[in-house]
Structure 1
Amino acid sequence: MPGTLTTAEKIRRLPWLLWADLFNSVCALLTVFGSVFVLFLSALGIDKTRIGFILSLLPFCGLVAPFIASTVARIGFRRIFLLFWTGRKLMLALLLLTGVVHTRWGVTASFWWVTGIVFGFALCRAIAETGYYPWIQQIVPNSIRGRFMAFENTVILVASMMVMGAASYILDHVEGLHGFLILIGAGVVSGFACVACYTFLPGGEPVAPNRDEVPALTQMIGAVNDRDFRRFMVSLGVTSFALAFLTPFVPLYLKDEVGLTEGNIVLLTLCSNLSGLVFSFPWGWSSDRFGSKPVMLTGLAMIMLLPVLWFLLPQKSVWSLPVTAIVSFWGGAAWIGWSTGWTRYLFVNAIKEEQSAAYTAVYYSWMGLVNGIGPLLAGRFLDLCSGIHARYLFFNLSAYSAQFGLGLLLLIAGFILLRRIRSDSAVTARSFVGMLVRGRPLAAVESLVRHSLAKDETTRIATTRRMAESRNPLSHDELIASLEDPSFNVRYEAIASIARTTPDPKLTQALLQVLQGSESELCVAAAWALGRLKESTAIEPLREALSSNESTLRAAAARGLAGLQDADSVPRLLQGLSAAEPAAERIAYASALGSLRAGECLETLLLLLNQTRDVTARSELALAVARIVGGEGDYMRLWRGARVDRNTALAHALYALKRNLRAVEGQNSGLETQLEDWAAAFGRGDIVAGSEFIGGFLRSPLARQFADRVTTILEFCVATSCDSANAGDELLILALHVIGEALRRVRRSGPQKQHS
């Protein structure tokens, strides 16, 4: 029974499922599915309407599923599947006699011979797959379904590339029907190997009859009445019909209109398989991580471009094959994304496991109907439009052009319907696509792979940093997981890395949990990081952290609130500044108030600057004062210049004041002459003589137009410069910056008193 299989037991048997599906895919490619079979039917001389009829038999037979679902469940999913899966391989073996039938009795007899074989094959397939889907749903755990599908697709695609490469060679070098019959024979052998592998899989036991059990028909009616399932089936049906209408005759379009040989057409499968090989694991991983719906919609959006690209292919040109190969590569990536998304959504979200037989019967019959109508109508449509041959501008118009246009409209309708189905994650298709283009997605994927393989602490720290540097949301979950790493250093690096990456509410929430944790060092780092992320949801927790018993956390919270530009916190920061005792905490409060341009604390900041001796701390306090005045960029430019060559930087700063001074006082300003002397003094290294510029500006009539805060700062600089113990370069830099800002404002506002 399904309940007797543990997840560990299921995973242990998955290699047999992998081998079985691998052999089955090879069989399908070389027999009745794929471009080989369509080209085989065309080589027999069968017209497009009849080809469409033959192809429609495969899905149409799926309509038997609702009528046999209860019987299949009672006999056993596994038993029925193996019996009829073997039967369908026996039917395929009869295709090997098609050459004899064609030679002796002609095209019509060949058509009916192939039709009978395909009908028998399709009927066995429909009965077998009625048991297959409930059985496989038991075997593959939902937690790894997306990743297993991705790995399985990768293996199958590698094998398919090898098989189709060989098939292309055979069709190019073996004339007539013999090449096709060789491929069909190889497919039949692979099919029997597939059946042998399936016999090693567990599960799928008979479901014992239960008198209290709801009848099968009632269960299927219940499945149809399931609103979410019904909406998904309608949406999937429209999209599947569009694809069934579009894709079966593409090989004939490439042969008739584009001018490719049969071998080249089969060879194009290598391009689509190579694309699937590259993108299979990313699609599967994404569906497990971000949900089925965004992956499904993204893949379908890519498929919607295919009809346009097919229409634009260069026809009967040297560029036909390479351009078609590029389009096939795009189509392979799109198709694997679409199939991974909708298949996972079907098994994980749409089908209820306790009623899987009824749900899969409805699904299988519905898909059989729409997928059968698609090629049937497409073949007839192409024959009816066969008279279309025209040229418009640079484009050749034919029956295939009309088919592509109609198919595109159907795909758009399917996309609109699929957008409305129930989401299985918080990630939308738009945000998922944004993840693929934001920052450096390839670097994010690389760092994720490296992080999953990292073992020692040093490597985990390095990969955590690389994930943040990619600035891509794909790595956000791993960054959050690193916050719980057993190593303290990795956790600390994770906080710093989150602060460097793109903001995300999930990251903010994770940092808030760290902020409220018990590790004081990490709490401090989290408070700092929250200020960098600019998320308003962090404001209230940071305000609460101002009441912490830890002075370092209070200081970090103050800096964080300043980073978030929380002006409403100014009163609490002023209160904290007056109550703080550790010098580092007071400087943190002062710096935060400066960032918030809280002019009411100016005198307190100047007093603290006068009391501070540490050079770095004085520089930070001077910057806080400069921020209150404004023009932080100009201040930092002057500060950097003074670190390289103090005298030259101060002299140039004074010379730079001349333009604004001349605009305010005119050409014959007395201050301008003095400014030349002060600048020359700085240039000679005479700091005492040069620093007289502060008093000179204060004594000039121009000072009456300065704001009160400017005058306060300049008076402080004059008073402090007289005390050699407290004098420093930061005061000269601050004074020059303040005067420069004041002159610019006087110039802009005219000769009236600036606002304080």
Structure 2
Amino acid sequence: MTHEPTTVEKLHKLPWAIASNAALAIFVQLTFFGSVFVLFLNELGLSTSQIGFVLSLLPFAGLLALVVAPAVARFGYKRTYITFFSIRHVVTAFLLLTPVVVMRYGTDAALVFVTVIVGVFAVLRAIGVTASFPWTQEYVPNSVRGKYTATNNLASTLTGFLAISLASAVLARSSGLLGYDVIIGVGVICGMIAVGFAAFIPGGAPQKSARGAPPPRRDLRAGLQDPTLKRYLLGVGLMIAATVPLASFLPLFMQEEVGLTSSDVVGLQGAVLAGALLSSFLWGWAADRYGSKPVALSGVFLRAVLPIGWLLMPRHSPLSLTIAMGISLAQGVADVGWNVGSARLLYNDVVPPKKKNDYLALYFAWIGIVGGMSQLLGGRMVDATRGLQLGGQPLSNPFLPLLLIGLILPIVAAFVIRRLNDDSTVRFSQFPGLFLRGNPFLAIEAVIRYSRAGDEEAVVRNTERLGSAHSPLTTEELLEALEDPRFSVRFEAIIAMARVGFEPRLVEALAGVMEGPEPALSTVAAWALGRMGDASARPALERGLESRYRSVQAHSSRSLGVLNDRDAIPELLARLQEEADPGLQLAYASTLGQMKVDNALPPILSLLATARNRTARAELALAAARIVGDEAHFIQMLRQARREPGTALAQAMIALRKRVEQMEGVDGELLDRFDACALALARNQLNEGVACLTEITHALIPLTPVEYQRGILVHCAEGMEIHGTERIEFPVLTLHTLAAG
């Protein structure tokens, strides 16, 4: 048994892992794994088939994982990693002797020399990486794996970008193999520094059995029979076959077909790293929040689009470098998405911690087989295509098969990976929409600001910003704010949720608040559910009608009106007729008016006749006007009548006269009274004008065909007779009913 570090210790030491990988990224870019090494081999005069063979040694060595995994576990993951990575960097240093070998023994001997170094390096690397996979699963807590991967990519991208910039500058100022020696030398030094940093990472202790107990049995067959692992390996294998040979020979494509210089080709790697740098945080944040699969699949589909850009880009043009830079930038974004998503999927969902040794050995061996074969066949495919003729003419682009494979295989891989089960909270089809609603940039900024806010005022202010983004990306923070111990933060969170719009989890959370013990929050929650505008909130609002708090009942009613819940109409009608509380009466009347329930007009008009509050009268008049129709017309006339009653009513009378002329049963005397009424109102003789309007209304009631509209006119005429100009709502509603009806 071995002691595993605590989560606190792991989190405390993660910066050492990030620093180690950042230094290692320089080694990677400047030696065997970047475009520099491909150009180095090309400088030695190797064909694409020979380059493919040399590069295939690196992944093929991964097969050793199946053999050495038990010994690695017994020796200790950390000890194995540090030992073999140190030795491999020493072996890499022998590449510095390549110019001497070329001068003394020729290029053929140099090819053998480099191949032997790559082979020895590949074996040492395979043993070290066999240890690194289970060690990484151990020292990175699952809860922050996406964030760690993103931060690690960010740091590695920065250092890799610096390495590429250095390599590009050196190659631009040198010729022959000397420049490559300088680049490789810097890479070796950084590799040794990376190993030194790794010594501070916790975990990775030797896996020893208890005294007297038999050593743990290997069970590779269980891994091979695990459908989840098999599906994952198939998807990863397809992606490796699509991307690895294309990435290896893309520098040659850019040189030979597009017409870029060696320095420009190396610079493209900088654009890839820039894309990775810009997107690392976002991918890691999204993976921890929404799950591995949506992020991985996004990277897959982005990667599938890239070959189209490479195929269509101009050749030997002043724009070639600029367009290549743009495509490389997108490549960096796609690669990080795939790497973050697939790595998190592997460690969190595919590999059981108790079986990590065998499962990860199978994984490393598999990617070695696929990677090696794809490198080997990719080089031969390019060489074979160079001599291929179509219609008696040689094929213009020998890299075309690799580009087509890079287009097709990721699509196939996506269909394989999407059937894996993981901890995703959204489907892939929903994932892009999260970034299309609202303002994603403001949302991410608000999330960062919210996470850093401490005092109440700052938290309230940043909670408001979460809502102002109108983006579902802020859902987690809003749910967290809703459980904040500070009342003002919870209150602001509810308002912010209403701004975000419909999200199932937000609706569920607000429904819970409605049933809580705080009427102030319950009331605002009922309003927010209506503001969201989704029918899924109806059941919660219908339950809100039974709340013991009248304010919650009122706002539940109003929100049901916003949602046009026709099923609630009978209940609301009954409550309107039985309720004695003025506030609830007003809420029920307004709701029924909003839903255009003409059966509710009698109680609405009765309330309008007795209402003393100006705002309440206006809302009741609006409820009746909504049933008639053309709400905007009523609101506009009411606003004008409150500012300039005579002018507003006179204009409405003049407009109405044209319609009245066409009504059957209207004589010239009535039209003359219309003119006299409009003139009195225009002269601001309000009492005379309203009295005249009352007489006209009585005359038009029998000519109005719709029964409920006649009822409105009768009540309004009575109201004008009693209150005259004191209650402007009656003449406004009268003219609106006549105009709209």
TM-score (norm 2): 0.96
2:106 is paired with a residue whose SS is helix
1:651 maps to which residue? 650
Q: Is the 8 A contact 2:26 2:163 kept in 1?
A: yes
Q: Is the 8 A contact 1:480 1:510 kept in 2?
A: yes
1:330 maps to which residue? 330
CA offset at residue 663 of structure 1? Answer: 4.2
Q: Is the 8 A contact 2:25 2:157 kept in 1?
A: no
Q: Is the 8 A contact 1:390 1:397 kept in 2?
A: no
C-alpha distance in structure 2 between counterparts of 1:708 and 1:608, whole Å: 19
Residue identity matched to 1:652 = Q
Where does 1:298-309 land on structure 2 (aligned, <5 Å)? 298-309=298-309
2:226 maps to which residue? 226
CA offset at residue 664 of structure 1? Answer: 3.9
Single out whichever of 101-110 and 138-147 deviates more from structure 2: 101-110
CA offset at residue 205 of structure 1? Answer: 1.5
1:174 maps to which residue? 174
1:142 maps to which residue? 142
C-alpha distance in structure 2 between counterparts of 1:432 and 1:208, whole Å: 44
> Deviations 1:140-176 (Å, cap 9, x if unpaired)?
1111111111112111211122221111110010111
C-alpha distance in structure 2 between counterparts of 1:30 and 1:363, whole Å: 26
> Deviations 1:383-409 (Å, cap 9, x if unpaired)?
011135899xxxx94111232123211
1:374 maps to which residue? 374
Tell me if 1:66 matches 2:102: no
C-alpha distance in structure 2 between counterparts of 1:390 and 1:25, whole Å: 43
C-alpha distance in structure 2 between counterparts of 1:572 and 1:3, whole Å: 65
CA offset at residue 44 of structure 1? Answer: 0.4
2:269 maps to which residue? 269
Q: Is the 8 A contact 2:2 2:208 kept in 1?
A: no
1:683 maps to which residue? 682
C-alpha distance in structure 1 between counterparts of 2:676 and 2:710, whole Å: 22
1:745 maps to which residue? none
Change (3 A) 1:132 1:594: same
Q: Is the 8 A contact 1:216 1:358 kept in 2?
A: no
1:478 maps to which residue? 477
1:578 maps to which residue? 577
Q: Is the 8 A contact 1:610 1:726 kept in 2?
A: no
1:430 is paired with a residue whose SS is coil
CA offset at residue 598 of structure 1? Answer: 2.2
C-alpha distance in structure 2 between counterparts of 1:573 and 1:213, whole Å: 75
1:748 maps to which residue? none
Tell me if 1:312 matches 2:308: no
> Deviations 1:192-211 (Å, cap 9, x if unpaired)?
11122222222112222468
1:120 is paired with a residue whose SS is helix
2:91 maps to which residue? 91
Residue identity matched to 1:688 = N
> Deviations 1:731-755 (Å, cap 9, x if unpaired)?
111111111121xxxxxxxxxxxxx
Change (3 A) 1:666 1:317: farther
C-alpha distance in structure 1 between counterparts of 2:152 and 2:10, whole Å: 15
2:627 maps to which residue? 628
CA offset at residue 299 of structure 1? Answer: 1.2
> Deviations 1:79-124 (Å, cap 9, x if unpaired)?
2222211221122111111111122222222221111111110111
2:38 maps to which residue? 38
Residue identity matched to 1:23 = A
Where does 1:361-440 land on structure 2 (aligned, <5 Å)? 361-387=361-387, 397-440=396-439
Q: Percent identity?
A: 36
2:558 maps to which residue? 559
Tell me if 1:294 matches 2:294: yes
CA offset at residue 726 of structure 1? Answer: 8.7
> Deviations 1:10-69 (Å, cap 9, x if unpaired)?
111112212211121111111101100000000000000000001111000101111221
Residue identity matched to 1:613 = R
Q: Is the 8 A contact 1:146 1:284 kept in 2?
A: yes
C-alpha distance in structure 2 between counterparts of 1:331 and 1:601, whole Å: 63
Where does 1:4-15 land on structure 2 (aligned, <5 Å)? 4-15=4-15
C-alpha distance in structure 1 between counterparts of 2:717 and 2:659, whole Å: 22
2:405 is paired with a residue whose SS is helix
Change (3 A) 1:628 1:214: farther
What stretches of structure 1 of length at least 5 have no aligned partner? Answer: 743-756
Q: Is the 8 A contact 1:576 1:589 kept in 2?
A: yes
Q: Is the 8 A contact 1:388 1:398 kept in 2?
A: no
Q: Is the 8 A contact 1:62 1:126 kept in 2?
A: yes
C-alpha distance in structure 1 between counterparts of 2:214 and 2:328, whole Å: 49
CA offset at residue 365 of structure 1? Answer: 0.3
CA offset at residue 424 of structure 1? Answer: 2.4
Residue identity matched to 2:330 = W
1:457 maps to which residue? 456
CA offset at residue 660 of structure 1? Answer: 3.0
1:126 is paired with a residue whose SS is helix
CA offset at residue 720 of structure 1? Answer: 1.4
2:200 maps to which residue? 200
> Deviations 1:587-635 (Å, cap 9, x if unpaired)?
1121112112222221111111111111111111111111122221221
Tell me if 1:255 matches 2:255: yes
Q: Is the 8 A contact 1:92 1:121 kept in 2?
A: yes
1:437 is paired with a residue whose SS is coil
Q: Is the 8 A contact 2:81 2:131 kept in 1?
A: yes
Residue identity matched to 2:597 = A
CA offset at residue 538 of structure 1? Answer: 2.6
2:720 maps to which residue? 721
C-alpha distance in structure 1 between counterparts of 2:659 and 2:54, whole Å: 87
Q: Is the 8 A contact 2:209 2:215 kept in 1?
A: no
1:708 maps to which residue? 707
Residue identity matched to 1:462 = R
C-alpha distance in structure 2 between counterparts of 1:177 and 1:349, whole Å: 46
C-alpha distance in structure 2 between counterparts of 1:289 and 1:669, whole Å: 74
CA offset at residue 692 of structure 1? Answer: 4.4
Residue identity matched to 1:623 = L
Q: Is the 8 A contact 1:81 1:131 kept in 2?
A: yes
C-alpha distance in structure 2 between counterparts of 1:501 and 1:679, whole Å: 48
> Deviations 1:276-315 (Å, cap 9, x if unpaired)?
1111111101000000100111111111111111112221
CA offset at residue 727 of structure 1? Answer: 4.4
C-alpha distance in structure 2 between counterparts of 1:670 and 1:246, whole Å: 91
Where does 1:721-740 land on structure 2 (aligned, <5 Å)? 721-724=720-723, 727-740=726-739
Single out whichever of 382-391 and 146-155 deviates more from structure 2: 382-391
1:619 maps to which residue? 618
C-alpha distance in structure 2 between counterparts of 1:216 and 1:398, whole Å: 52
What stretches of structure 2 of length at least 5 have no aligned partner? Answer: none
Single out whichever of 647-656 and 91-100 deviates more from structure 2: 647-656
Q: Is the 8 A contact 2:232 2:350 kept in 1?
A: yes
Q: Is the 8 A contact 1:655 1:679 kept in 2?
A: yes
Change (3 A) 1:465 1:693: farther
CA offset at residue 581 of structure 1? Answer: 3.0
1:110 maps to which residue? 110
Q: Is the 8 A contact 1:390 1:398 kept in 2?
A: no
C-alpha distance in structure 1 between counterparts of 2:628 and 2:300, whole Å: 56
C-alpha distance in structure 1 between counterparts of 2:667 and 2:403, whole Å: 80
Residue identity matched to 1:654 = M
C-alpha distance in structure 1 between counterparts of 2:685 and 2:24, whole Å: 90
Q: Is the 8 A contact 2:2 2:206 kept in 1?
A: no
Q: Is the 8 A contact 1:697 1:703 kept in 2?
A: no
Residue identity matched to 1:464 = T
Residue identity matched to 2:47 = D
C-alpha distance in structure 1 between counterparts of 2:399 and 2:110, whole Å: 26
Q: Is the 8 A contact 2:299 2:338 kept in 1?
A: yes
CA offset at residue 129 of structure 1? Answer: 1.1
Change (3 A) 1:629 1:165: same
CA offset at residue 515 of structure 1? Answer: 0.6
CA offset at residue 725 of structure 1? Answer: 7.7
Residue identity matched to 1:539 = R
Tell me if 1:23 matches 2:20: no
Residue identity matched to 1:367 = I
2:586 maps to which residue? 587
